[in-house]
Amino acid sequence: MSASTFAFFPESAYGPTNNCVGIGDVLRRRGHRVVFIAEESFAGTLAERGFEERLMRLTPPSDEAEDPGQFWKDFIRDTAPVFRRPTIEQLEGFIAPTFEALCDGARYVDERLVEIIDEVRPDAIVEDNVVSFPALPASGVPWARIVSCNPTEIKDRQVPPPFSGYPTAERSGWDAYRAEFARALGPLQRDFDAFCRERGAPALPELEFIHASPWLNMWLYPAEVDYQRAVPLDGSWRNLEASVRTTDAGWEPAEPLASTDGPLVYLSLGSLGSADVELMRALIGTLADSRYRVIVSMGPQHSQLELAPNMVGAEFLPQASILPEVDIVITHGGNNTVTESLYFGKPMVVLPLFWDQYDNAQRIDETGFGARLDTYSHAPAELTGAIERLLADGALRTHLGAVSARLRSAPGTERAADLIERLAEA
């Protein structure tokens, strides 16, 4: 096809941004113009990867220098005590305030988004967000939605409620959770729906904060762990299964890992979860006395962390280059890390902290691809015991190898690029 202009608009966090980078890189290599609509704290990070940037803000300007995604790092830090509560209690203490902050950002930025769309004149827009930005559906430009969270976000009566971490086989708590969701978030959702309609977007479905695209919707979850639905999704929905970028720098084991033996473990709680210094220190302490060689994604509080002699780490690591080399992953359960670990055939120990991480942790545990532990209350022996059990499971290793081979034979980034190209021709 002839060259087109594609605007990518990911949420201002590393997970959705990295997902969009992987897809955008494929389109750029095919000769298209790719523009990222990015929050100002990300200025330069997309340009370094060869993309055009158009900058915006989700909050009023700050007098201080801001790191990429700093607003959400601060928000998570301030609300972290809520993560120790049951998920049904987090609806009021964390989920509702998070959606309120997201909706406030959508209100603040909408006029700027209209300006950017008018300036860039994209042939199609691709967004990866959890609340709607009315400027997109109101623009008349064909647009696609990516759901790079656990697919419980796409609600169905046969799928556990989002953010609950509830099992699929035990539904006794589902109704109570859904009722609490409606109580805690209903008024906020109705106010946001009114704003969307005032700004020229369609009405939102009941208790939804984001529109489905009438053109194209994509989600990321391998078939082996995806949910059975009571109502099949319509033809606008396509499952990419995994979307693994190829833009990360290469990686090779450094000393002391290169010259020592033992299973290679990757520890990553994501850019937000790793900001919990107390938790990171506890995990480092557990693994320090183990037989493992450990790679630690240290995150924004890296200066407050001290690694043991059997470890290497840094604030940022090229995860997509590291995962093929490791034996097992300890993760917070972010959707990118979960799907990338399956893509490379790695078992997981999942320590969920917030949002859809509970759903991913539960799904990985109940499908047998890993173990879910209580993030704050597990004993050190539970963590090392889970690692040993998963490493020793030869049948699981064989199964993961088959999953990896299937996913790698049809990369989601290429499939997404094909779909987005067709969207521009619509």
pLDDT, tens digit, 9 for 90 and up, residues 223-250? 999 999 999 999 999 999 999 888 888 8
The whole-number average pLDDT for the span 347-365 is: 96
Q: How far is CA 80 from the centre of its chain?
A: 18
Q: Which amino acid is at 140?
A: G
- DSSP-based three-state secondary structure for 295: strand
The residues with which 320 forms a beta bridge, in sequence order, are none
Q: Which residues pair with 216 in a beta bridge?
A: 144
Q: What average pLDDT does this structure show over 187-196?
A: 98
Whether 72 has a pLDDT exceeding 60, the answer reads: no
Per-residue pLDDT of 1-27, as tens digits, reads 689 999 999 998 888 898 999 999 999
Residue 113: its pLDDT value, please?
Answer: 97
The proportion of the chain whose per-residue pLDDT surpasses 70, expressed as a percent, equals 96
pLDDT at 76 over 90: no
Q: Dihedral of CA 75/79/80/84: which sign?
A: negative
Residues of the chain with CATH 3.40.50.2000: 5-244+411-424, 264-408
Given a cut of 70, whether residue 70 has pLDDT beyond it is no
pLDDT of residue 61: 82
pLDDT at 296 over 70: yes
- pLDDT, residue 99, reads 95
- Range name among 59-63, 104-108, 365-369, 393-397 with the lowest pLDDT average: 59-63
Question: Does residue 167 register a pLDDT over 90?
Answer: yes
pLDDT at 276 over 90: no
Q: Which of 89, 106, 204 is nearest to 155 (CA)?
A: 204
The mean pLDDT value of the chain amounts to 93
3-state secondary structure of 325: helix
Calculate mean pLDDT across residues 272-289: 88
So what's the pLDDT on residue 55?
A: 95
Q: How confident is the model at residue 91 (pLDDT cuts 50, 70, 90)?
A: very high
pLDDT at 331: 97
Of the CATH numbers 3.40.50.2000, 3.90.1150.30, 3.20.20.70, 2.60.40.3080, which one belongs to the domain with range 5-244+411-424?
3.40.50.2000
Q: Which helix (H) or strand (E) holds 176?
A: helix 174-198
Contacts 24+ apart (CB under 8 A), 304-309: 304/277, 305/277, 305/280, 305/281, 308/284, 309/256
Q: What pLDDT sits at residue 111? A: 97
Amino acid letter, residue 162: P
Q: Is pLDDT at 425 greater than 70 in this prediction?
A: yes
Average pLDDT over residues 38-52: 90
**How many of the other CB atoms lie within 10 Å of CB of 121?**
10
Percent of the chain's residues with pLDDT above 90: 78
pLDDT band at 254 (very low <50, low <70, confident <90, very high): confident
Kindly tell me if the per-residue pLDDT of 69 is higher than 60: no
Give the pLDDT mean for 359-376: 97
Q: What is the pLDDT of residue 73?
A: 63
pTM of the complete model: 0.93
Rounded to whole angstroms, the Cα distance separating 161 from 54 reads 35
Higher-pLDDT residue of 250, 321? 321
**Residue 175 pLDDT level (bands cut at 50, 70, 90):** very high
pLDDT at 172: 95
For residue 199, the Cα-to-chain-centroid distance in whole angstroms is 28
CATH superfamily placement of domain 264-408: Glycogen Phosphorylase B; (3.40.50.2000)
pLDDT interval class at 75 (50, 70, 90): low
Query: Is the pLDDT assigned to residue 86 strictly greater than 70?
Result: yes
Which token pair is 94? 């964390």
* Higher local confidence (pLDDT), 380 or 16: 380
Which amino acid makes up residue 167?
P
pLDDT (0 to 100) of residue 27 = 97
Residue 151 or residue 65, greater confidence: 151
Q: Which of the pair, 299 or 333, is modelled with greater confidence?
A: 333
* Encoded tokens for 230: 């009571």
pLDDT given at position 426: 73
Q: Examine the pLDDT at 134 and tell me if it is beyond 60.
A: yes
**How sure is the predictor about 153, in pLDDT bands with cuts at 50, 70 and 90?**
very high
**Kind of pairing between the strands at 143-147 and 216-219:** parallel
